[in-house]
Amino acid sequence: MTLADGWSRKFSEPIELPNGRRLVTLRDAIAWLAKSVPASEHSAHEVQLAAYCVTEAAASNGPMVFARIAVLRAINRHKPHHWGKRKLKRDQ
C-alpha cells in the first residue's frame, strides 16, 4: 500500500461533525484537523494525538480504530467528560 492509497482508507463508520458534515476517510480527517482547529490549539494534546494516529493509519497501515477515537477526542476536546469518581451508596 502506498502512502497515497493510505489516505483513502475509510473509517468503519463516518465521523459526524457538529455542523453535520462527515469525515469518511483519513484524508478528510487530516484536512479537518488542519483547517478547522485554530492554529492556537494545534499544540493541544488531543489534536497532536489525532494527527499522529491518523498519519500512522495512513502511512503504516496502523489501526483505524485508534485514529477514529483520537479524532473524536479532538472534536470533543472542549466538552467536559462525565467519567470520574463513582459515587457509592455508602458514600452518600
pLDDT tens per residue across span 40-87: 999 999 999 999 999 999 999 999 999 999 999 999 998 877 666 667
The answer to the question of residue 90 being in a domain is: no
Q: Residues 22-48: what's their mean pLDDT?
A: 96
3-state secondary structure of 11: strand
The answer to the question of residue 83 being in a domain is: no
The answer to the question of residue 32 being in a domain is: yes
The answer to the question of residue 55 being in a domain is: yes
pLDDT at 33 exceeding the cut of 80: yes
Range of the domain at 53: 3-75
The answer to the question of residue 81 being in a domain is: no
The answer to the question of residue 19 being in a domain is: yes
How many whole angstroms from its chain centre is CA 37? 12
The answer to the question of residue 85 being in a domain is: no
What pLDDT is attached to residue 89?
A: 73
Grid cell digits, residue 79: 466538552
Number of domains in the chain: 1
What pLDDT is attached to residue 5?
A: 84
Whole-number Å distance between alpha carbons of 49 and 73: 9
The answer to the question of residue 56 being in a domain is: yes
